[in-house]
Each structure stands twice: as C-alpha cells, then as structure tokens.
Structure 1
Amino acid sequence: MTKAAEIDIAAVSKVYGTTTAVHAISLKIPAGTYCCLLGPSGCGKTSTLRMIAGHESVSSGDILLGNANVTDLPPAKRGTAMMFQSYALFPHLDLVDNVAFSLKMKGVEKEARQREALEMLKLMQLEPYATRRPAQLSGGQQQRVALARALITKPEALLLDEPLSALDPFLKIRMRAELKKLQTTLGISFIHVTHSQEEAMALADLIVVMNEGRIEQAAHPRTVFERPATAFVARFMGDHNVISGRIATSGEAGPMIEVIGGGRFAARGPSHETGAPADIAVRTDRVRIGQEFADGLGFTGIVSNIEYRGSSVKLSLSGAGIEDFTAIVSDADFFANPVKVGDAVPLSWPAEDAIVLGRLQH
C-alpha cells in the first residue's frame, strides 16, 4: 500500500457566485489519521472534502498532499480516492470487474487487474461473492465493494462522503468497526464527512467541527468532548449546557457571569472586561440534583421533562434566566431520589466543570 502522506489545507476558500461556502480554512491532517469533518447540513464539510478530492475547484488557497501541491491536479493524479454516498457501482459488472474498473481505465492488462481486484475482495471478506453482481448483495456488502474499488488505486488518503448514512442502525455500528479496523490495517489517512457526533466520536483521531464554512475546533475527540472551544461546539456535541450572559466580575479563579434573568454563574477560564458578552459550558453529566449549591455553581430549576434512557435519566429544567438546561443522572441516583415534572429542585456542579468558551472572530 502507498505510504501515507500529510494533508495540508492552507487558507482554502470555496465561493459559489456571491455565496462563500468555505471561508479560508487552514488544517493539517497528519499522515495515517482518521479525520472526521463534522457539522450540520450546509456547514461546508462536503465542499471541503470535494476540494481535497479534486471534484470541486478551489477558489483560493492551496491543498498539499505530502510535498506535492495538488490544488490544480485532476482527481486521478492526486493520490486520493473518493468513496461516494451512493456507492455508484456498475449493475451489469460482477464484483471483480467493478473493483478492477479504475485499473482497466489506466490500461492495466486483464489478468493483473483481476488478480489485484481479488486481493482487495479478500481484504473485504468478499472473495466468495466475486462473480456476483451488486444487486445480489446486501447494503453492507455493496459498501465494502465500493471501498475495495476506491482502495485498489493504492491512494495516500481515502475520502468518504457520509458513507454510513444509507445503512440501518445495527449495520452502521458494524461498519464503523470495520472502517476503523481497515484504516488501522492500511495505515493511510481516512477523511470522513458526517453529521453524526456519535459516528465521529467512535471513529476519529481528529474531529474537525465546522459551522458556516469555518472550523470551530479541530482536536482529538476527548478534547472536543471535555473542552469544547466555542458555544457552537458545546451545543452541537450535545454534552454541555451553554449559559450565555455578560461578565459581572472577574477574579483570579475566573469570571462571574450574569444572565438576563438575574442568575450569576462562576467559571474557570481567562478574564474578560466587565460587561463583555461571555458563554460558559457546564457538562450535562456533572450536574447533581437535590444538593445545595455554592455561590455561582448552581441554581434552582423547574423540571420540564424527564426521559428514561436505561442506564441514565435525562432531565430538562429551566430557571434563573436559563430556558433549557439538561442534567444526565445515573438511573440509581435518580430512582433513589426521584423527581417529577413541575418540581423545583436545586442543581449544582463542581467548579472545574464550568468553563469559559472562546468566540470565533468572523
């Protein structure tokens, strides 16, 4: 397999007419990384992937693969391979000829290309199905054929556009494990576009959270989970409450933030000017219910919804100028002291679990 190469995206923009889909983003993807581009629809993640692939032109900036500037090269000359969401298999060809197709286009003689195609099918555990056509396969098997066809060109990076979106939930989880195993075995970079936080967390070494054509955070999944860089990341990942207000006071330990409804909350992080807008994040699974709180580290909330999730219970609450606050508690803790919708309960959290969030300069 080809040696993996670093991918360097340097101040890359994509403009369609008067719309800027990607705003001068810069990102280094180390060789051999499983990278997930994550974000809501329209955030620029697919445009970024297609620019790396060469299926979309770059409006400004450069894309480097290893030491080569590939910005203006056609897809076949880049050392990347793309696997499309639709798989795009040829219905009239058997699996061997589907997988060998790109080698046929390159003029590789029949025996050699069929031998290589069989090797790829073996890697995908599809050798017994070599003479079948795509319609005779399950969704998961078709996906593995599409993967084999992309990988036969020995790319330095494999690009995947929402590859699991068409699969049922059980197959999704199985294919996730197979993708991760395959990437580890091959040692090349996989760049995978998804809007699923769970998928990105399960697969990636590097998560790149995008919003409105900009990168909000690019970091290891654990960092993104525990230390979201911005309010958007904290909300999008769904594991933090975001409290927005203004700096009331600023001390050595961190600022005190006041929200419109009058609540005041302490946070750890850099000091700001008094009166400046600020957001703080509080981990949903670190919120305790029914315990009195220290100054700035809690409030009394009214329970608006309760969702039982098996090993945990999700509570939605409001109060102190906060509309929508979430607490995730273990089933044991909840049922030891159950509450019901409409109850007023004290909420508290440790000081280290309230962090000041950064703000993107647009």
Structure 2
Amino acid sequence: MSKAAEIDIASVSKIYGKTIAVDAISLKIPAGSYCCLLGPSGCGKTSTLRMIAGHETVSIGDIVLGKEVVTDLPPAKRGTAMMFQSYALFPHLDLIDNVAFSLKMSGVDKDTRRARALNMLKLMQMEAYASRKPAQLSGGQQQRVALARALITDPEALLLDEPLSALDPFLKIRMRAELKKLQKQLGITFVHVTHSQEEAMALADIVVVMSDGRIEQAASPREVFERPATAFVARFMGDHNVIGGKVTGSSDGLVTFELVGGGTFSASGQIKAAGSDVDAAIRTDHVRIGESPVKGLGFTGIISNIEYRGATVKLTIEGAGIAEFTAIITDKAYYATPVAVGDAVPLHWDPEDAIILGTLNS
C-alpha cells in the first residue's frame, strides 16, 4: 500500500447559488489517522467529503493532499478513493471484474488486474465468492467488495460516505470493528462521514463535529465527549445537560450564572463578564440523586419520566427553571433507593462536572 497522506483543508467553502453548504472551514487530518465527519443532515459533512474526493468543485479555498494542492485535479488524479453509500457495484459483473474495473479503465492487462483483484478479495476474506455476482451477496459482503474496489487503486486516503448506514444494527457493529482493523492494517488515512455519534466515537482518532457548514469541534473522541467545545456539540453528542443563563459573578475558577425564572448555578471555565449570556454543560452520568445539593452545584426537581435501560436508568427531571434535565444512574443505585414519577428529588454534581461552553466565535 502507498504511503498515507495528510489532508489539509484550507479555508474551504462550497456555495450553491445563494446557499452556503460549507462555510470557510479549515482542518488538518494527520496522515494515517481515522477521521470521522459527524453531524446532522445538511451540516456540510458530505459536501466536504466530496470536495476532498473531487466530486464537488471547491467554491473558495484549497485542498492539499500530502504536499500537493489537488483543488482543481479530477478524482482519478488525487490519490484518493471513495466508497459510496450505495456501494454502486455492477450487477452483471462477477466480483473479480467489479474489483478490477478501475484497473481495466486504466489499461492494466487482464491477467495483472485479475490477480490484483483476487488479492484484494483475499484481504477482505471474500476470495471464496470471487465468481459470484453482487446480487448473490449479503449487505456486509457487498460492502467488503466495494471496499476492495476502492482500495485496489492504492490510494493515499480512503473516503467513506456513510458506509454502514444500509446495514442492520448487529452487522454495523461487526463491520465497524473490521473497518478500524483494516485502517490500522493498511496505515492509510480514512475520512468517514456519519450521522451516528456512537459510530464516530468507536472508529475515529479525530471526530469533527459539524453544524450549518461549519466545524464546531475537531478533537479526539474522549475530548469531544468530556470537554464539548460548544452547546451544539454537548447537545448533539447527547451526554450532557445544557443549561443557559446570565453571568452574575465569578470566583476561584467558577462562573456563577442565573437561569431565567430559576436557580443559580456555578460551572468551571472561561470567566465571562457579568450580565453576559452563558451556557454550561453537566455530564448526565455524573449527576447524583438523593443528597442535599451544594449551592450552585445541584437543585431539587420533580421526576417527570423514568426509563429502564438495563445497566442504567435514565431519569428526566424538571425544576429550577429547567424544563428537562437528565440523570443517568446505575440500575444498582436506582433499585437501592427507587424513585417514582412525581417525586421531588435532590440532585447534585461535582464542580469539575459542570463546564462553561464556548461559542464558534469565542
């Protein structure tokens, strides 16, 4: 396999008429890393991937692969390969001819291309099916063939557009592990578009969270989970309560703020001027119930919903000017002191579990 390449996206925008799909994003993807572009539909992640591939033109900015500016190069000249969501296999060709198709287009002789295709199918543990047609394969097997076809061109970067979305949940988890293993084995740069937080966290070295054509945060999965950069990231990742209010003061690294019609809270982070708007995130799995809250680090609320989830129980609570607050506690803790809908319960958390969030412009 060829050497992996760093991908440098430099102030890139994609504009369709009056719509800005990608808004002046800059991102460095290290060579040999697994990068997931994550976000809701319409956030610009697929447009970004297609611009790296050359399937979309760049409106403003540059894309650099390794040391070469590839902004205006056609897809075949970039050193990238793309695996599409639909797999796009040729139904009338057997697996060897499907995998070898790009080599045929490049003028590689039949024996050479078929030998290389068979080697790629072996890598994907699909050589036993080499003479079959795509219709005779399962979804997971078709995906392996599509991967083999993308990798036969010896790319420096593999681009994957929601490659697991068509698979059933059990197969998704299995193929996720295989993709990670394959990326480590080949050592090339993978850029993978997904709307699944779980998928991005399981696969990526770098998670790039996008919203409205902009990058909200680009960091390791652990940092995105533990230190979300903005309120959008905290809400989208789904592991934090986000509460907002106006700053009333600060001391000892804690910012104090007041909710409209509600309580006063404290959170650690960047000091903001009194009277300014602020958002804070509180880890749902670090909220504890049943002890008197410390001032600013908890409140007493009414339980509005209880969901049993096996190892954990999700409690939804209202109070202190907060319409919906989540606590995830272990099933052991819940059944040791069970609570019911309508009960008033005290909640609290530690100072390090409440953090002040930034904004894209901060």
The answer to whether TM tops 0.5 is yes
- Quote the offset at 1:281 in angstroms: 0.5
- Quote the offset at 1:361 in angstroms: 1.9
Alignment match, 2:254: 254
Alignment match, 1:300: 300
Alignment match, 2:78: 78
CA contact (8 A) 2:262 2:322 kept: no
* Aligned equivalents of 1:90, 1:307: Cα separation in 2: 46
Q: Partner letter of residue 123 of structure 2?
A: L
- Unaligned 5+ segments in structure 1 are none
Deviations 1:304-342 (A, max 9, x none): 110000000000111000111100000000000000111
* Secondary structure, counterpart of 1:295 in structure 2: coil
Deviations 1:200-220 (A, max 9, x none): 000000000000000000000
Deviations 1:252-304 (A, max 9, x none): 32210100023111110111110000000000000001111111000011111
Identity rate of aligned residues, in percent? 74
* Aligned equivalents of 2:102, 2:242: Cα separation in 1: 49
* Aligned equivalents of 1:360, 1:8: Cα separation in 2: 20
Map 1:195-344 to 2 at 5 A.
195-344=195-344
Aligned alpha-carbon RMSD (Å): 0.7
Q: Partner letter of residue 311 of structure 2?
A: S
Deviations 1:19-51 (A, max 9, x none): 000000000000001000000000000000000
* Aligned equivalents of 2:282, 2:25: Cα separation in 1: 29
Q: Partner letter of residue 306 of structure 1?
A: I
* Aligned equivalents of 2:128, 2:253: Cα separation in 1: 64
**2:31 corresponds to 1:31:** yes
**2:345 corresponds to 1:345:** yes
CA contact (8 A) 1:261 1:322 kept: no
* Aligned equivalents of 2:58, 2:114: Cα separation in 1: 36
Alignment match, 1:51: 51
* Aligned equivalents of 2:322, 2:52: Cα separation in 1: 42
CA contact (8 A) 1:94 1:134 kept: yes
Alignment match, 2:66: 66
Deviations 1:124-155 (A, max 9, x none): 00000000000000000000000000000000
* Aligned equivalents of 2:209, 2:225: Cα separation in 1: 11
- Unaligned 5+ segments in structure 2 are none
* Aligned equivalents of 2:222, 2:309: Cα separation in 1: 23
- Quote the offset at 1:250 in angstroms: 1.7
**2:176 corresponds to 1:167:** no
* Aligned equivalents of 1:178, 1:250: Cα separation in 2: 49
CA contact (8 A) 1:34 1:203 kept: yes
Once structures 1 and 2 are overlaid, which stretch shifts more, 255-264 or 153-162? 255-264
- Quote the offset at 1:360 in angstroms: 1.2
Deviations 1:204-247 (A, max 9, x none): 00000000000000000000000000000000000000011110
Alignment match, 1:112: 112
CA contact (8 A) 2:5 2:65 kept: yes
Map 1:167-186 to 2 at 5 A.
167-186=167-186
* Aligned equivalents of 1:151, 1:210: Cα separation in 2: 27
Q: Partner letter of residue 215 of structure 1?
A: I
- Quote the offset at 1:64 in angstroms: 0.2
Once structures 1 and 2 are overlaid, which stretch shifts more, 276-285 or 252-261? 252-261
- Quote the offset at 1:196 in angstroms: 0.2
CA contact (8 A) 1:302 1:343 kept: yes
* Aligned equivalents of 1:218, 1:114: Cα separation in 2: 41
* Aligned equivalents of 1:49, 1:324: Cα separation in 2: 36
* Aligned equivalents of 2:309, 2:252: Cα separation in 1: 40
Q: Please report the TM-score for the alignment, with normalisation by the length of structure 1.
A: 0.99
* Aligned equivalents of 2:137, 2:318: Cα separation in 1: 50
Q: Partner letter of residue 308 of structure 2?
A: Y
**2:125 corresponds to 1:125:** yes
* Aligned equivalents of 2:227, 2:64: Cα separation in 1: 29
* Aligned equivalents of 1:127, 1:272: Cα separation in 2: 61
* Aligned equivalents of 1:2, 1:87: Cα separation in 2: 23
Deviations 1:75-98 (A, max 9, x none): 000000000000000000000000
Q: Which portions of structure 1, spanning 4 or more consecutive aligned residues, are displaced by more than 4 angstroms?
A: none
Q: Partner letter of residue 121 of structure 1?
A: L
